[in-house]
């Protein structure tokens, strides 16, 4: 079932890139993210309340809070950087380079989460880096 959610996340992320690029015309990238962040906040808390999980925040352990808050900081920075890049460059090149974060996530997962590194993961990661370079260095990636 996780694959369905992952595919939905990929489709949503692609739509975010295209819609944001279209919306950034004559709008500051930080302001655009701030506008979207309000919706993100409202929608996610509405889902938590709808699912009946609101009171569970009290049960979150200290280490989990630290990791989740740090991830929130990096989510914000990532999005701010991505929106700035989108305001300056072509969506296909920006998205490709930004999604090379998958390779960085693989490396960090192996180092910090002790996830298994297989030859398939190495080949797939290398293919992602090669593809990102090809797209970024194309005429579209000016």
**pLDDT tens digits along 50-101:** 999 999 999 999 999 999 999 999 999 999 999 999 999 988 888 888 888 9
CA angle 103-112-76, nearest 5°?
65
Taking the CA atoms of residue 90, residue 127, residue 100 and residue 35 in that order, the dihedral angle to the nearest 10 degrees is 50
Q: Tell me: pLDDT of 23 over 70.
A: yes
Q: Tell me: pLDDT of 36 over 60.
A: yes
| Each residue's pLDDT tens digit, 102-138 | 999 999 999 999 999 999 999 999 999 998 888 878 8
Categorize the per-residue pLDDT at 7 as very low, low, confident or very high, splitting at 50, 70 and 90: confident
Quote the tokens at residue 74: 């990096």
Predicted local confidence at residue 10, as pLDDT:
87
Predicted local confidence at residue 126, as pLDDT:
94
Task: Name the phi and psi angles at 52, rounded to 5.
Answer: 80, 25
* Cβ pair 87, 25 in contact under 8 A: no
N- to C-terminal Cα separation, the chain: 39
The structure's pTM equals 0.82
Task: Name the phi and psi angles at 92, rounded to 5.
Answer: -65, -40
């Amino acid at each position: 079932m996780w694959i369905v959610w992952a595919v939905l996340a990929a489709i949503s992320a692609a739509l975010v890139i295209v819609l944001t690029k279209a919306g950034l015309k004559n709008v500051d990238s930080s302001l655009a993210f701030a506008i979207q962040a309000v919706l993100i906040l409202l929608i996610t808390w509405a889902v938590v309340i709808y699912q009946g999980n609101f009171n569970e925040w009290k049960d979150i352990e200290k280490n989990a809070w630290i990791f989740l808050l740090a991830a929130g900081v990096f989510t914000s920075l990532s999005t701010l950087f991505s929106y700035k890049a989108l305001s300056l460059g072509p969506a296909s090149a920006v998205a490709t380079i930004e999604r090379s974060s998958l390779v960085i996530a693989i490396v960090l997962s192996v180092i910090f989460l002790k996830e298994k590194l297989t030859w398939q993961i190495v080949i797939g990661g290398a293919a992602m880096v090669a593809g990102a370079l090809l797209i970024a260095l194309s005429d579209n990636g000016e």
